[in-house]
Amino acid sequence: MLRQSGVAGGGSDATVSRDVTLVAFSTTTGIALYAALIATGGLAVQLIREWRTWSTRVQVEMRRMTLAAPGEANEPVVIFTITNRSDHPVKITHLGTEPIRSGGKSLFFPAPLPAGIPGPFPVPPHDSITLYQPDSSFADGEPEHRTRARVSTSDGKSFTSSRVRVGDLLEDAD
């Protein structure tokens, strides 16, 4: 058997063995890095899902409607719809509005209707409650001034509605 050693076009067994080892090492490293990236991505997705499950998310809407009850006169009211977008129950501890006059004070409704008793008001997961106040509560406001509803939860978070002109809350709803 003839063996070529150090001749152009040929290589020693040690050189070929080292090249094969380097190729095997870099392939193994690449696969390990790929697996680590996939595992880290999976962990990140799981952590985001857990965070969304336990974070409090509440949507607040404020609008004017007419309360109609059989046998009673229709009464214009301001409706507050509070929707729990969380996966856990939420307790609403405070309901109010931002200032309805320029430089004025905020309104706080300690016992909104229909409950007529002080809160907290529990809201089940993915459910909503509707509370209201007579529109006379907003009569001192400047009609062109904008206000928004604000609710606070038992875990210390606050949520607001979109801004509404005070005049839109006072005019007849047609």
Residue 44 has pLDDT above 50, yes or no: yes
Report the mean per-residue pLDDT for the chain: 80
Q: Which residues pair with 91 in a beta bridge?
A: 122
pLDDT of residue 2: 47
Q: pTM of the full predicted structure?
A: 0.65
Q: Please determine, for residue 13, whether its predicted confidence score (pLDDT) is greater than 90.
A: no
* Closest CA relative to residue 164, chosen from 76, 62, 65, 93: 62
DSSP class of residue 105 equals P
pLDDT of residue 173: 41
Mean pLDDT computed over 52-57: 77
Whole-angstrom Cα distance, residue 64 to residue 169?
5
Express each pLDDT in 116-126 by its tens digit.
677 788 899 99
Q: Which residue has the higher pLDDT, 110 or 89?
A: 89
Which two structure tokens, joined as six digits, stand for 128?
A: 């909503």
Q: In the 8-state DSSP scheme, what is residue 155?
A: T
Query: C-alpha angle with apex 59: 54 to 65, nearest 5 degrees?
Result: 155
Q: For the chain, what percent of residues have pLDDT higher than 70?
A: 79
* Among 89, 93, 87, residue whose Cα is nearest residue 131: 93
